[in-house]
């Protein structure tokens, strides 16, 4: 039998960066961003064709466009040129910012577009290509040509859902920057930047895969999420973690025998396994539940929960599922999880084998895990003979 599971989400490359792009002064271009599926900086008439970013030509083009913005769009009657050295430093900084969007940011990087106010939404987008495109945009009654990056909006997240340090960054005046830029991190810079980026991604995206990590967001619909509900979910995942460890130790038969006899006793045999490192649960109900762990573990959980939520598994026999073939698609990417699918198939087959002795009761308990805890797996699962 072949099980095809499809879950909405993104597969990120190992070097994916996360940026913030401010939609102009006073957020004046936010509707243009959303309507045209582009992001750009406030440099009217800027031409980037055949531009060498390391040349004085880049400095000159940015300086001319900046002056045009001040005079024609901002219409700042109080603007007075500063000392030449100060004015040059400002333009060189804006040139660096412009290079970040138009040269450094790459296809598939994530861009956060903030809006005005704490109660507004942050639009989350993915850069679609490395090409620069030009769009005609209206500003202050006139139409200007802006260089843009094409994007695809993938999520809209309330600003208040982000952590306070992230909100502060979203509200900065800088036009474009890496979300980890200028963090004071000392010797732990690399580790902390990675953790900070992961926290941003967890708040900004639904389901995503990055390197060996799979972060899955599911709907939590229950009005009052109890400790019993959390226990049921934790127990399901702990069984998967123990099964994964038993497989690594080549102890799957012993695992099954001990599990049937006394699950609590057998869990103690794996006391050296750090369950907290293996699984991170983040619950807000009603709202969402997030599971973050290895690709293999979360993918196995997706397939199993999807089967029990979408298929009448109790009408099948464990024997029918013995040689189960699994296809798992995240978003539009059909190949992003190919490296872990053999392990997922093996773990799904072993899990089913471990509950086969009390098949119908086990099916009923797993159905309750989905229905009674209020957890809705947003995964489409179909079975093919």
Both 276 and 148 in a single domain? no
List alpha helices for 275-333, DSSP H: 275-278, 295-310
Identify the three-state secondary structure at position 330: strand
Quick one: pLDDT band at residue 264, thresholds 50, 70, 90? very low
Residue 10 falls inside a structural domain: no
Range 45-50, long-range pairs (CB < 8 A, 24+ positions): 45/144, 45/145, 46/98, 46/146, 46/147, 47/147, 48/102, 48/132, 48/147
For 63, the enclosing helix (H) or strand (E) is: helix 56-68
Which of 165, 191, 206 is at the close of a domain? 206
pLDDT tens digits, one per residue of 127-144: 999 999 999 999 988 999
Identify the three-state secondary structure at position 303: helix
Pairing of strands 208-210, 10-12: parallel
Both 192 and 256 in a single domain? no
Both 146 and 239 in a single domain? no
Both 157 and 193 in a single domain? yes
Both 153 and 176 in a single domain? yes
pLDDT tens digits, one per residue of 3-40: 888 888 888 888 889 999 999 999 999 999 999 999 99
Both 184 and 277 in a single domain? no
Task: Please count the CA atoms within 13 angstroms of the CA of 315 that sit on its side-chain side.
Answer: 5
Residue 7 falls inside a structural domain: no
Domain encompassing residue 297: 213-384
Which of 206, 237, 266 is at the close of a domain? 206
Quick one: pLDDT band at residue 184, thresholds 50, 70, 90? low
Both 265 and 137 in a single domain? no
Residue 166 makes CB contacts below 8 A (sequence gap 6+) with 179, 199, 200, 203
Which of 206, 233, 265 is at the close of a domain? 206
Residue 6 falls inside a structural domain: no
Residue 111 makes CB contacts below 8 A (sequence gap 6+) with 18, 19, 20, 21, 39, 105, 124, 125, 126, 127, 149, 151
Both 222 and 300 in a single domain? yes
pLDDT of residue 108: 93
Residue 103 falls inside a structural domain: yes
């Amino acid at each position: 039998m072949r099980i095809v599971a499809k879950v909405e989400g993104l597969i990120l490359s190992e070097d994916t960066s996360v940026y913030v792009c401010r939609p102009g002064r006073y957020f004046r271009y936010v509707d243009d961003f959303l309507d045209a599926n582009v992001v750009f900086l406030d440099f009217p008439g800027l031409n980037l064709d055949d531009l060498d970013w390391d040349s004085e030509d880049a400095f000159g083009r940015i300086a001319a466009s900046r002056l045009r913005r001040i005079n024609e769009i901002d219409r700042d009657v109080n603007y007075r040129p500063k000392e030449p050295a100060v004015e040059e430093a400002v333009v060189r900084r804006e040139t660096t910012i412009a290079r970040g969007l138009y040269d450094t940011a790459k296809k598939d990087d994530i861009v956060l577009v903030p809006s005005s106010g704490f109660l507004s939404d942050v639009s989350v987008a993915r850069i679609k290509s490395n090409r620069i495109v030009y769009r005609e945009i209206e500003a202050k009654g006139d139409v200007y040509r802006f260089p843009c990056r094409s994007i695809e909006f993938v999520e809209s997240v309330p600003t208040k859902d982000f952590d306070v340090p992230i909100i502060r960054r979203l509200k900065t005046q800088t036009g474009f920057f890496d979300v980890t830029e200028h963090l004071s991190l000392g010797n732990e810079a690399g580790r902390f930047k990675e953790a900070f980026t992961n926290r941003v991604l967890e708040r900004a995206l639904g389901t995503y895969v990055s390197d060996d990590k799979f972060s899955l967001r599911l709907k939590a619909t229950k009005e009052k999420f109890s400790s019993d509900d959390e226990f049921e979910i934790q127990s399901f995942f702990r069984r998967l973690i123990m099964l994964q460890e038993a497989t690594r130790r080549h102890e799957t038969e012993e695992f099954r025998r001990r599990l049937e006899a006394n699950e609590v006793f057998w869990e103690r045999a794996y006391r050296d396994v750090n369950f907290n490192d293996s699984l991170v649960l983040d619950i807000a109900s009603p709202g969402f539940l997030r599971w973050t762990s290895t690709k293999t573990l979360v993918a196995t959980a997706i397939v199993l929960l999807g089967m029990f939520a979408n298929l009448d598994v109790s009408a099948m026999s464990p024997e029918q599922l013995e040689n189960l073939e699994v296809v798992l698609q995240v978003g539009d990417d059909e190949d992003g999880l190919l490296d872990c699918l053999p392990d997922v198939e093996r773990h799904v087959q072993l899990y089913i084998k471990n509950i086969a002795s009390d098949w119908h009761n086990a099916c009923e308990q797993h159905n309750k895990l989905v229905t009674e805890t209020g957890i809705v797996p947003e995964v489409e699962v179909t079975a093919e003979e």
